Amino acid sequence: MKACYPGTFDPITKGHLDIIERAASIFDEVDVLLMVNPRKKCVFNAEERKQMIEASLEGIGCDNVHVVIGSGLTVDFARKLGAKAIVRGIRAVTDYEYELQQATANLMLAPEIETMFLIAKPEYSFLSSSVVKEIALNDGDISSMVPAKTAELVKEKLKGNSDALK
């Protein structure tokens, strides 16, 4: 069975990678669906984010994972890809409330596609791309939060660019 894991991944975190690895062990194929949302301001463009994800996946043994750039409704893109499930990570109750609304709407739009929730490991329960960018912008250490190559790219991109998060 094929699943997709949608998100903006701006940047990809170790929490995202944990969800990807776990999904890859459950499903035959996983498409990391890098969504482009014009209403959401990203520090990295879609191609930069795709390259970060692909570099992060090298060497972790997830040969059944592919990265795809998409836009529009997630369920429409999942349907085009032939995915039977949408994987979402849950860090806290606030995530669950939001994700439940999204999953219910998606179920109404595409009843043939299930939403599967994977609970974040405790060490990643606080972690988000926004937290990573905020810490990096203030010269904090993000090495435990993102892959090494990603940390370098984030630091370089945010160096002296306080407008990047506005």
| CA–CA distances in Å: residue 35 to residues 31, 138, 161 | 12, 27, 24
Digit-coded pLDDT (tens) for 116-135: 999 999 999 999 999 999 99
Instruction: Find the catalytic residue in 14, 88, 129, 133.
Output: 129
- Catalytic site residue 91? yes
Q: What is the number of other CB atoms lying within 10 angstroms of the CB of residue 71?
A: 13
- Catalytic site residue 40? yes
Instruction: Find the catalytic residue in 16, 49, 50, 88.
Output: 16
Digit-coded pLDDT (tens) for 78-103: 999 999 999 999 998 888 999 999 99
- For residue 162, what pLDDT band results from cuts at 50, 70 and 90? low
Digit-coded pLDDT (tens) for 18-63: 999 999 999 999 999 999 988 888 999 999 999 999 999 987 778 9
- Catalytic site residue 79? no
pTM of the model: 0.92
Using CA atoms, how far apart are residues 88 and 86, in angstroms rounded to an integer?
Answer: 7
Instruction: Find the catalytic residue in 14, 50, 88, 91.
Output: 91
Pick the CATH number of 2-123 from 3.40.50.620, 3.10.290.10, 3.20.20.140, 3.90.25.10: 3.40.50.620
- Catalytic site residue 129? yes
Boundaries of every domain in the chain:
2-123
Instruction: Find the catalytic residue in 40, 144, 162, 166.
Output: 40
